[in-house]
A and B are shown apart, each in its own frame.
Chain A
Amino acid sequence: MSSYHEEHNTSPHTQSNPQGRREIRSEFRNLYEQLTPTDPTLISLLASLLPPELQEEWGKKSNEGCSQAFIDSLPRVPKDKIPNDLCSICFENFREDEYPLVIELPHCSHKFDLQCISVWLSSNSTCPVCRDKVNHNAKLDIDTTEAELEEDWGMYG
């Protein structure tokens, strides 16, 4: 009988060669970036050279991740406003963390541990809860003080 991993095209650490995969991936990414292809034929030609199991991953990673700068600029929730609620990624209560670092996504106000959302946004660009695009390409000029102000207006207006 073939193993779970063979059939699922996944590989556990003991059998896989993550380094090899990483090398192939970064080579293709370099190639892609050097050429900055706008020609769809060229893009699909390049994509077709990738092993099938990497195609999806490669396309996804290079197109959809948010920049570290964007992630760093996400508004932090001030400590006294951290809700008594669970992070939707790790299901731990925000307040149970001794030094909570909680951020709020600007477009939908969903809150997450910075650590949890950073990993997700480094290869995706949607909110895990509502799946809205986080709009990482838009110029970010919201800082935390403005976000707080808006919240206060919302309360009184």
Chain B
Amino acid sequence: MHNNPQETERLISDPVPGITAEPHDDNLRYFKVSIEGPEQSPYEKGIFQLELYLPDDYPMEAPKVRFLTKIYHPNIDRLGRICLDILKTNWSPALQIRTVLLSVQALLASPNPNDPLANDVAEDWIKNEEGAKNTAREWTLLYAKKE
């Protein structure tokens, strides 16, 4: 399967506001990603580091994306794995890296505790949304700092 060099070029030349993605020098399938927390979300002002890896079958198979920065979110677990349908069953080869990253950013703006990956966080979110958001804000201050 092709490696889509144009896609990489476009990511660099036509960046999405608040999102950066740079291919690794030694491995063009591996991207270092950063996403700014959306405004008016508990992640506002945070800079979150992620890694994105294109599997051999990309674009027939979804990229693998994971948060490296610790984050308190019902759809992101302790290992940084993300519960997002387009990364699993709803993947389409017409989606691009930029669409995936925009969807991840959207997930930060609207957490969905009813489809959780981190069960304890989701429980907290359902029982006491304000408290959970405060924890998320604290974690953002603590961990999601500019490098």
Give chain A's interface residues, CB within 8 Å of chain B.
4, 7-8, 10, 13, 56, 60, 88-92, 116, 119-120, 123, 126, 128-129, 131
A90 to B59, CA, bound (A): 8
User: Main secondary structure on chain B at its contact with chain A?
Assistant: loop
CB–CB B79/A128 < 8 A: no
Q: Are A7 and B60 in contact (CB under 8 A)?
A: no
Query: B66 touching A7 by the CB < 8 A rule?
Result: yes
Of the residues A4, A89, A126, contact of B59 by C-beta under 8 Å? A89
CB distance from A99 to the nearest CB of B (A): 17
Instruction: Select which of B64, B79, B96 is within 8 A of A10 by beta carbon.
Output: B64
A residues near B4, Cβ cutoff 8 Å: 90-91
Contact B94 A119 (CB under 8 A): no
Taking each of A56, A123, A128, A131, which has the highest tally of chain B beta carbons within 10 Å of its own beta carbon?
A: A128
Determine the chain A residues whose CB is within 8 A of the CB of B94 once the complex forms: 88-89, 128-129
A-B CB proximity, top 8 nearest: A128-B94, A88-B94, A128-B92, A89-B93, A128-B93, A129-B94, A7-B79, A8-B64
Q: What are 7 contact pairs spanning A and B, CB under 8 A?
A: A7-B66, A90-B2, A90-B4, A119-B1, A120-B60, A120-B93, A129-B94
| B62-108 contacts to A (CB < 8 Å) | 64, 66, 79-81, 88-90, 92-94, 96
The 8 Å CB contact of A131, one of B2, B81, B92, is B92
Closest to A110 in B: B94
Contact residue among B1, B7, B66, B89 (Cβ-Cβ distance under 8 Å from A4): B66
- B residues near A, CB below 8 A? 1-2, 4, 6-7, 51, 53, 55-56, 59-60, 64, 66, 79-81, 88-90, 92-94, 96
Whole-angstrom CA separation of A60 from B62 in the bound complex: 14
- A8 B81 Cβ-Cβ under 8 A: yes
User: Nearest chain A CB to B68's CB is how many angstroms away?
Assistant: 10
**A6 vs B93: C-alpha distance when bound (angstroms):** 25
CB atoms of B66 and A8 under 8 A apart: yes
Distance in angstroms between the alpha carbons of A4 and B90 in the assembled complex: 23
Chain B, residue nearest A6 (CB): B79
Contact, CB under 8 Å: B64 / A91 = no
In the complex, how many angstroms separate the beta carbon of A104 from the nearest chain B beta carbon? 15
Complex CA–CA separation, A92 to B5 (angstroms): 11
